[in-house]
Amino acid sequence: MSGRMIDQPSDTAPDSPARTGYAVIQDYVKTLDASPGVYRMLDADSRVLYVGKARNLKARVSNYTRPGNSPRIERMIALTASMMFLTTRTETEALLLEQNLIKQLKPKYNVLLRDDKSFPNILVAKDHAFPQIKKHRGARKQKGSYFGPFASAGAVNRTLNQLQKAFLLRNCSDSMFETRTRPCLQYQIKRCTAPCTGLISEEDYAASVRDAERFLSGRSTKIQEELAEQMMAASEAMEFERAAALRDRIKALTQVQTSQGINPRGVAEADVIGLHMEGGQACVQVFFIRANQNWGNQDFYPRVDADMSPAEVMEAFLGQFYGNKEPPRQLILSDGIENADLMEAALSEKAERKVELLVPLRGEKTELVAFAVRNARESLARRMAESATQAKLLRGLAEAFGLDGPPQRIEVYDNSHIQGTNAVGGMIVMGPEGFMKNAYRKFNIKGDDLVPGDDFGMMKEVLNRRFSRLLKEDPDRDKGLWPDLLLIDGGAGQVSAVAEIMEEHGVQDIPMVGVAKGVDRDHGKEEFYRPGENAFALQRNDPVLYFIQRMRDEAHRFAIGTHRAKRAKAVSATPLDEVPGVGASRKRALLAHFGSAKAVSRANLADLKAVDGISEALAERIYDHFHAQG
């Protein structure tokens, strides 16, 4: 993408108050031409208020110089103190640049898609003689066939579970495959044909892989017909065990199709996108249709304003949603967008094939859109009810702890360890819309001077690192990263330790509360501690108490889960991990050859050189590592 910046007019004296509003925008219009491009509106503190695109920059920005806009736009114009412009060669480039800037800058007055995660796929790996079938998320770097996206990990897991029953493909890792000497439990429960121990030939296993790929490509009817013929033949030949196995495979395929709900006949590959707006909020429901099969649905709640039109919200959603995802061949929409031709061109360019936008008026596609819109409406109703309850709880929390207002960001901290080993700290975040899981953080406790089990010292380290990072990343506290309330697992001692850290960093203005189990560590008798104040408790049946317990339990769950993952990694570690140049594949080769890391450490140089994949130089390095110590 190429373009040029347009110089901004500046006739304001350095010490004069910043001009804002219509007059500022009119000055910029004089400098613009009819080029396509992107514009940014900034306030007096140079914060980006809005990012927009234009086929004709001069004509588009001129619209802001005339009264009669919506209340939202009028507020934005009144705050505008300066503008920035970037011209592009084409309108398509302007659209792509606009969406990238919105995702990067998160302007206050734009539609913003807040949940922009990747979606999982099913991968049939092709870098092994007996391909593995597994869930995959992220870049498609591994050799193999990818099928997806699926709407959630649960949708992938359910499909994989039934595919294993139907096609008996392995899901074990390559390293486990190489070290097996007898079939595992998956073979015993008829989920795998045990290729690891030679119980199926490479040709027969490859045939099962082809059938699985055919099924995932939408050719399931033909496979079921073939399996039915094989079952009848086995039954007539009195091979009843084989007939029963084939019957189970047909049943598993049927269950996959049943669990998918809608499976359109006339739509091979599309995303069905339904939008519902109500009360200044919006829900977008996306159904993933691939190979004539429904591979799940996901709801999204973009940040919108009450006076935004469905067309505006839909266009912004498409641009941001497919910014890091490959679009399917068709997008079937509940609402049309203003620049449909431009969006089609941009998405087609991204996918390197034609992408079509449809707003159906009749037929099966209309039914699919209606189904998506109904799901969006129901999801938004549930969310609005939950938000109302959440808002009430946040108000109650502010009242209970004497806060200035309902907190918008609550950070809850907990530590986990076993006698001081594999110690980790966990931070979970609660906001007006519930747990903010993308904001969770884990802290590997690094303090070498900590006494094993020193919870005070661990909490000090965690908070010290947290506030140091906040002061570096958001010193002005204007990016929404700072908490309005800290909840600490512990009593007076923990609160005192944390108060010291907060004072050192100059952030003692942030409210902080310690939550202790209370008498007999009984759930429901929690006591709350604040610096310089007496401990107090809430009524056992107070909804705010249940709310606090839920947050503390979530922090405990997250910290324990992080600790267990760290401990499991430590258990699986071997001395070979410390040898420079020994990666995963060479580590597997050495363990397969010698049987254990201890045997590798005792091996002589000649034996190390005999291992496949171990060069003479690496063998000497391994030998020196284990024999040059002490």
Contact yes or no for 12/18 (Cβ under 8 A): yes
At residue 300 the predicted structure's pLDDT band, cuts being 50, 70 and 90, is very high
pLDDT the model gives residue 309:
93
Pick the CATH number of 269-381 from 3.30.70.2860, 3.30.420.340, 1.10.260.40, 3.40.50.261: 3.30.420.340
Q: Which residue has the higher pLDDT, 430 or 386?
A: 430
Q: How confident is the model at residue 14 (pLDDT cuts 50, 70, 90)?
A: very low
Q: Which residues pair with 424 in a beta bridge?
A: 416, 444
Percentage of the chain lying above the pLDDT 70 cut: 89
pTM of this structure: 0.73
Distances (CA, A) of 447 to 150, 400, 444, 468: 42, 35, 9, 16
Q: How confident is residue 417, by pLDDT bands cut at 50, 70 and 90?
A: low
**Does 17 have pLDDT greater than 60?**
no
54 Cβ neighbours under 8 A, 6+ residues apart = 36, 37, 38, 39, 60, 61, 94
Residues 6+ apart with CB under 8 A from 123: 133, 134, 135, 136, 142, 144, 145, 146, 147
Q: Which of 185-189, 215-219, 322-326, 406-410 has the lowest mean pLDDT?
A: 215-219
Report which of 444, 373, 342, 436 is spatially closest to residue 54, judged by C-alpha positions: 342
What is 3-105's CATH number? 3.40.1440.10
Task: Give the length of the chain.
Answer: 630
pLDDT at 630: 42
* pLDDT at residue 167, rounded to an integer: 85
Over 60: is that where the pLDDT of 342 sits? Answer: yes
**Residues 374, 361: Cα–Cα separation, whole Å:** 16
**9, two tokens:** 């007019």
73-77, 167-171, 332-336: range with lowest mean pLDDT: 167-171
**Alpha-carbon distance 517 to 594, whole Å?**
51
Q: Does 247 score more than 60 pLDDT?
A: yes
Task: Extract the tokens encoding 346.
Answer: 């941009």
Distance CA 235, CA 335 (A): 54
Least confident of 46-60, 509-523, 569-583: 569-583
Residue ranges per structural domain of the chain? 3-105, 121-259, 269-381, 410-570, 575-627
Do 269-381 and 410-570 agree at the fold level?
A: yes
Least confident of 43-47, 59-63, 246-250: 246-250
Over the chain, what is the mean pLDDT? Answer: 85
Q: What is 410-570's CATH number, 3.40.50.720, 3.30.420.340, 3.40.630.30, 2.40.30.10?
A: 3.30.420.340
What's the Cα-to-Cα distance from 610 to each of 178, 585, 590, 591, rounded to whole Å? 19, 16, 10, 13
Q: What is the pLDDT of residues 165-210, one digit of tens each?
A: 888 899 888 888 888 888 988 888 888 999 999 999 999 899 889 8
Q: Mean of the pLDDT values across residues 289-314?
A: 90
Q: What pLDDT score was predicted for residue 9? A: 58
Residue 135, pLDDT > 80, answer yes
The residue-averaged pLDDT of 218-246 equals 77
Q: Which of 16-20, 229-233, 482-486, 614-618 has the lowest mean pLDDT?
A: 16-20
Q: How far apart are CA 484 and CA 463, in angstroms?
A: 15
Residue 12 Rama label (left phi>0; alpha psi -120 to 50; beta): beta
Please give the pLDDT value at position 383: 87
Is the pLDDT score of 13 beyond 70? no
Mean pLDDT of 272-296: 91
CATH superfamily of 575-627: 5' to 3' exonuclease, C-terminal subdomain (1.10.150.20)
Stretch 405-426: mean pLDDT, rounded? 80
